Amino acid sequence: MLRDVDPERLHEALETALHVRRWVEDVEREAPFDTLDELLIAASNAATPLSPEEVDEAVAAHPRIGERPTGDDAASEFSRREQAVAASGTPELDRRLAEGNRRYEERFGRVFIIAAAGRTREAIVKELERRLELDDDTELRTVADQLREIALMRLRSTFAEYAS
């Protein structure tokens, strides 16, 4: 049962899933969880909404899309796996991604965040280009949604043995 997971393991998994102190504390307050579904519901609820400051806190822990994370921590390993498919592309897609990242960072003041797992590089580039056209408030909500999606995917992966 997920209830038997060591609190320290849960804490580390939460920090890796979404690096937002308030969110980690809110989810931990709901523990212990009998099922993975209970954990995912608590995690989703605690991340809805994320404040602009919390989005910035979380984004700071993410590498730029298309760049290989260099750390050996759990978050870096997740990023490497999540971006694995996105790492292959043509020189034209590479150029568009680099240019899009530059424009995005200039426009929004943070790195572009997308739940990259299972997406092709082409799909990521198209989404980046689409999101460059969004207004600031809509993009902030989109980033928060993507961070929540990434967190839930990471928790599903970390605690897969508890899935029913």
With the C-alpha atoms ordered 41, 43, 45, 47, is the resulting torsion angle positive or negative?
Answer: negative
Q: Along the 164 residues of the chain, how does pLDDT read in single tens digits?
A: 899 999 999 999 999 999 999 999 999 999 999 999 999 999 999 999 999 999 999 999 888 887 765 666 766 576 656 655 555 678 999 999 999 999 999 999 999 999 998 899 999 999 999 999 999 999 999 999 999 999 999 999 999 999 87
Length of the chain: 164
Asked if 148 contacts 47 with a C-beta cutoff of 8 angstroms, the reply is yes
Which tokens in the block code for residue 160?
A: 């897969």
* CATH superfamily, with its number, for domain 2-162: Oxo-4-hydroxy-4-carboxy-5-ureidoimidazoline decarboxylase (1.10.3330.10)
Which tokens in the block code for residue 45?
A: 């609820």
Classify residue 130 as exposed, middle or buried by CB count within 10 Å of its CB (0-12, 13-18, 19+): exposed
With the C-alpha atoms ordered 137, 139, 143, 144, is the resulting torsion angle positive or negative?
Answer: positive
Secondary structure, 3-state, the chain? CHHHCCHHHHHHHHHHHCCCHHHHHHHHHHCCCCCHHHHHHHHHHHCCCCCHHHHHHHHCCCCCCCCCCCCCCHHHHHHHHHCCHHHCCCHHHHHHHHHHHHHHHHHHCCCCCCCCCCCCHHHHHHHHHHHCCCCHHHHHHHHHHHHHHHHHHHHHHHCHHHCC
Instruction: Give Cα 76 distance to the centre of its chain.
Output: 11
* Boundaries of every domain in the chain: 2-162
Other CB atoms within a 10 A radius of the CB of residue 38 amount to 16
What is residue 69's predicted lDDT score, i.e. its pLDDT?
57
